[in-house]
Amino acid sequence: MFLKSKVEVKGLSGLSKCFRTAVESIGGDGDILFVGSPFTCLPFAEFLCYGIRDLPLKPFFMPSLESGKTKELVKNEGYGYQLGGLKAGTDYRIVTLLGGLAIPKYGVPPKALKEAIDRLPGSKDTIAVCFQGSLRNLDWTNTFQFKYLIDTDLTVTME
């Protein structure tokens, strides 16, 4: 289910490198679907796209359970990755679940999300990317067979 050895890195560049390593180990051409809560997860999906920008994968973002609202993430020179138009992928090779899905405010039931993802095309491996263990909950780990779970600890200091 998870890596046999634990990898610990720091900062956003460490997060990006871990994500790239996970994606490269799965490999393959096709589409990568980021699934997350509206507002908070989209910027992280856009950020993670930067780390895999040269891989033969086309990125998409699906807000929560709303597969009909899936949009392509397009590279916009000088700005980075941003939402493109409504467009579903044709061969989702990798699905990346983002931790905002587990926030009670959004109330995304893991089993309903699994059913929605299973209906999408492609042979999907699942990566979890979260902060403070939000996707380590048994409801999530028992429902999804994460190939990798990338858990980030966020420390903030304000003076």
pLDDT score, position 5: 60
Return d(Cα 148, Cα 26) in angstroms, integer. Answer: 10
Q: Is the pLDDT score of 47 beyond 70?
A: yes
Per-residue pLDDT of 33-45, as tens digits, reads: 999 998 899 999 9
Is the pLDDT assigned to residue 52 strictly greater than 70?
yes
Could you give the angle at the alpha carbon of 43 between the alpha carbons of 80 and 156, nearest 5°?
115
Measured CA to CA in angstroms, residue 2 lies from 51, 132, 147 at distances of 21, 17, 6
Q: How far apart are CA 149 and CA 134, in angstroms?
A: 11
The chain-wide mean pLDDT, for the chain, equals 91
pLDDT digits (tens, 9 = 90+) for 61-109: 999 999 999 999 999 999 999 999 999 888 899 999 999 999 888 889 9
Domain spans in the chain, listed from the N-terminal domain onward: 11-152
- Residue predicted with more confidence, 97 or 14: 97
**Please, which pLDDT band fits residue 4 given cuts at 50, 70 and 90?**
low
Helices (H) and strands (E) in the chain, counts: 4, 7
d(CA 22, CA 17): 9
Amino acid letter at 57? L
Helices 11-26 and 42-51: angle between axes, nearest 10 degrees: 70
CATH level 2 (architecture), domain 11-152: 3-Layer(aba) Sandwich (3.40)
User: How confident is the model at residue 1, as a pLDDT?
Assistant: 45
User: Taking the alpha carbons of 149, 45, 35, 21 in that order, is the dihedral positive or negative?
Assistant: negative
Question: Would the pTM of this model clear 0.85, i.e. be above it?
Answer: yes
% of the chain at pLDDT higher than 70: 96
Cβ–Cβ < 8 Å for 33, 70 = yes
pLDDT tops 70 at residue 123: yes
Whole-number Å distance between alpha carbons of 104 and 71: 24
Q: Put residue 73 in one of left, alpha, beta given phi > 0 → left and psi -120 to 50 → alpha.
A: beta
| 3 pLDDT above the threshold of 70 | no
pLDDT score at 11: 83
pLDDT computed for residue 53 by the predictor: 94
